[in-house]
Chains A and B, each alone.
Chain A
Amino acid sequence: MTLDELRPDHRATVVALEIRGVQRRRLMDLGLLPGTEVRVDMTSPLGDPTAYLVRDALIALRRSQARAVHIEVHDDEPGRR
């Protein structure tokens, strides 16, 4: 499953980035690496871009970027972090 499919208030862990070059670099510099925990914070009306909480900061990703981030959803709660 990819990050664009993550539902609000669910947590997930990044497992892979399916993207290369400058775009991959940008995601890594935003703190998104395999093993990183991520949560949806806010969706804009059309769901693009979406704000994610990553390493204690909010980052905004376009759907096209989020689609490159493969995740594993945590199966506990919604809500808590």
Chain B
Amino acid sequence: MPGPELPTAPDAGPAHGACTSCAIYNSANLRKLGVETGTYDYVAAVAGNPNTGKSTVFNALTGLRQHVGNWPGKTVARAEGGFHYHGHGYKLVDLPGTYSLLSTSNDEEIARDFLLFGRPDVTIAVVDATRLERNLNLVLQILQITDRVVVALNLMDESERHGITIDVRHLARELGVPVTPMAARKGQGVPELLESVEQVARGTVATRAHRVKHRDPRLERAVDVLAGQLQQTFPGLPSTRWVALRLLEGDPGTEQAVRDGTLGDLGRGIAGPEATSARPTGTAAR
């Protein structure tokens, strides 16, 4: 399978010579670090619906053996590992599966909070190519909060077996972020995924995430006002527009977190104290 065409800036790859998109070259540059994340430059989150192969992708990149099995809900807490690629350290965070950032169970909350408030430099959205329509719900929700997304279109072997063909270039263009087809269990597509993750992390490819628009301009204005107030009350809090929308919906959990101030702790706490000190060249100033 040919590598995916990035949605924008076709010649914006890193300056590593001619063979940077060549699979063997890329894999040779991957050093799996297991749990030894040490210091790192970038944090990448692995998110997606349950049972889409997130832990399989995580294991392929870190060399770890996170629990993998053929039923949903295996990963119930966040697992961390690391890898080194083209001279940069990455911390990778494997998240529990979730269908939505909106209505959530306990494991789903772990994933939601990390995506919203953990400030990952890249989010790898692992999707099941045999159930694309269902999986895109979460992808679109993630694209509402960040541009720094790579879609890992996994289980391509299964979808081919079912006779499903996916227009990957078109999908990438519509979503506005790179889409890499893969069959993670066989290691297929891993080099291309690495390349896209690096490009998004380092900002060498311009992504322009598809944003679902709200129909009513009054709603947009209300979100602007509330998000501004949240920014003042909780300085540095990410995803304030998302939080503002939940408040406008009257979501009880969000209202409570604002009232008792735990919302601010979410914004500070999740990356962990070690994460801020150990990121010499990260993008903390975003």
Contact = CB atoms under 8 A, between A and B. Distances in A.
Interface string A23-41: 0011001110000000000
Interface in A1-39: 21-22, 25-26, 29-31
A55 B128 CA distance: 12
B103 A26 contact: yes
Given A55-B131, A56-B131, A25 B103 contact: yes
A46 interface: no
Contacts of B252: 22
Nearest to B141: A29
Interface string B13-43: 0000000000000000000000000000000
B135 to A, nearest CB: 9
Contacts of B103: 22, 25-26, 29
Interface residues of A, number: 10
B250 A55 contact: no
Contacts of B250: 21
B229 interface: no
Contacts of B99: 29-30
A53 to B, nearest CB: 11
Interface string B129-161: 011011001000000000000000000000000
Interface residues of B, number: 12
B171 interface: no
Nearest to A20: B250
Nearest to A54: B134
A31 B134 contact: yes
Contacts of B137: 29, 31
Contacts of A30: 99
Nearest to B136: A55
A25 B100 CA distance: 9
Contacts of A29: 99-100, 102-103, 137
Interface in B74-120: 99-100, 102-103
Q: Which of B130, B134, B250, B251 counts the most chain A CB atoms within 10 A?
A: B134
Contact of B133 (A22, A25, A26, A55): A55
Given A21-B250, A29-B137, A31-B137, A57 B131 contact: yes
A55 to B, nearest CB: 4
A44 B102 CA distance: 29
B134 A55 contact: yes
A6 B24 CA distance: 54
Contact of A56 (B102, B130, B251): B130
A21 B102 CA distance: 11
A56 B103 CA distance: 20
Nearest to A23: B103
Nearest to B253: A22
A21 B103 CA distance: 10
A29 B140 CA distance: 12
A36 to B, nearest CB: 10
B247 to A, nearest CB: 14
Interface in B247-282: 250-252
Interface of A: 21-22, 25-26, 29-31, 55-57
17 contacts: A21-B250, A22-B252, A25-B100, A25-B103, A29-B99, A29-B102, A29-B103, A29-B137, A30-B99, A31-B137, A55-B133, A56-B130, A56-B131, A56-B133, A56-B134, A57-B131, A57-B134
